[in-house]
Amino acid sequence: MQSSDVIRALCFAGALFCAPAHTIAKPARVVSINLCTDQLAMLVAAPDQLISVSRIASDPRSSAMVAQAAAYRTNSGLAEEIYLMRPDLVVAGQYTSSSTIAMLERLGIETVKFDLTYDLADVSTQLRRMGDVLGQSARAAALVSKYEADLSAFQKDAEAQPRAALYYANGYTSGDKTLAGQILMRAGLDNIAAEHGLESGGMLPLEVLALAQPDTVITSLPYAGGSRAEDVMDHPVVAQLKRTRLEGSLTDHDWVCGTPFVLRAVGDMVALRNEIHKAEP
C-alpha cells in the first residue's frame, strides 16, 4: 500500500478527527453504490466525473448498462473502499446500508440518497435530480425531453385490455402502484393484482392465479442455480397458462430501475398485447 493510502486509512480509523468535506456545485469525483444510481449517474455524468459504480452494474440480469459499466471501477459498497477512492460525492439508494452512509458522513464525504421509483413519470424526476446533484442540469434536461417524447408515443389501446399476471418467486406479484404495474398499464394490459386488492403488491397464491385465468403470465428471470422460492414460476399451472394463453414474457433489467430503459419494457409489453389481440378468435 502506498504511503498516501496508509494516511487515508489511518484517517478512516479516526473518522471523527478528519476534516469535513465542503459541498461543491459540480463534484469532480463521484461514486455510486446503488444499481439505480449507477445507471442514472452513467447517463447524466460528464466524462471522467463518475469514477466508480456498484458491482451489480456489471450483472446482466439486473443492469441495463453492463457495457457502459465496464468503463468504471466497481465497488462493493463498503465505506472503507469508498473512502480510499477520495470521492467528493457518493450517490446511494433509499435502502443502502445506513451504517455505510453514516460512516461516510462522519468522514466528511457528502452523500445523497435517491428514492425508489414507483411511477413512469418519476423517471423524469430522478434524471433531473441526478442532474442537479452532479451539476449537469442541461445534460439531464436533454434526457428528460427525449424520454417524455418517447413515452408519449405509447398510446392506450382502444380495444379491450388483456389481463396479465406478474408472478415472481414465492408467488409474489406487483400491483398498479409499482413501477412494474405502471409498465403494464402504459402498455395497455390489465394487472390482475388489482382484482385482488394488491395495489402495491403481495402474495398471490397459485390457486388464485389458476382461478383468475389471465391472458398471459409474466415471470422474472431465474437466478443461476435456481432456488426453491423460484420453483413456483415453473409450476405446471403457470406453464399451462403460458402455453395455452400465449407464451408469457419475462421481466429483466429494463424493469428494475426508474431510468429511460423502462421504455423498452413498455415496448415489449405492447408487442405482447398485440400478440394476444391477434390470437383472439
- CA–CA gap between residue 216 and residue 199 (Å, rounded): 19
Residue whose entry in the numeric block shows the C-alpha cell 402504459:
186
Is residue 142 located within the same domain as residue 30? yes
Q: Domain check: are 145 and 172 in the same one? A: no
Q: Are 201 and 178 in contact (CB under 8 A)?
A: yes
Residue 40 dihedral angles phi and psi, to the nearest 5°: -60, -45
Q: CATH number, domain at 83?
A: 3.40.50.1980
Bridge partners (DSSP) of residue 31 are 52, 90
Do 136 and 103 share a domain, yes or no? yes
User: If we measure between CA atoms, which residue out of 219, 247, 251 comes closest to residue 233?
Assistant: 219
pLDDT band per the 50, 70, 90 thresholds, residue 229: confident
What is d(CA 109, CA 86) in angstroms, rounded to the nearest whole number?
A: 9
Rama region for 164: left / alpha / beta (φ>0; ψ in -120 to 50; rest)? beta
Whether 156 is covered by a domain: the verdict is: no
Residue 154: DSSP 8-state: -
Residues 82 and 120 both lie in one domain: yes
User: 155-186: per-residue pLDDT in tens?
Assistant: 766 678 999 999 998 999 999 999 999 999 99
| Domain count along the chain | 2
120 with 7, same domain: the answer is: yes
Q: Is 137 in the same domain as 187? A: no
Radius of gyration for the chain, computed over Cα atoms and rounded to the nearest angstrom: 22
Q: Is 17 within the bounds of a domain?
A: yes
Same domain, 255 and 229: yes
Q: State the pLDDT confidence band at 138, using cuts at 50, 70 and 90.
A: very high
Q: How many CB atoms lie within 10 A of CB 225?
A: 6
Say if 12 falls within a structural domain.
yes
pTM > 0.75: yes
> Residue 25 sits in which domain range?
3-150
Q: Does residue 226 contact residue 259 with C-beta atoms inside 8 Å?
A: no
Domain boundary among 117, 150, 183: 150
Q: From CA 120, how far away is CA 113, in angstroms rounded? A: 19
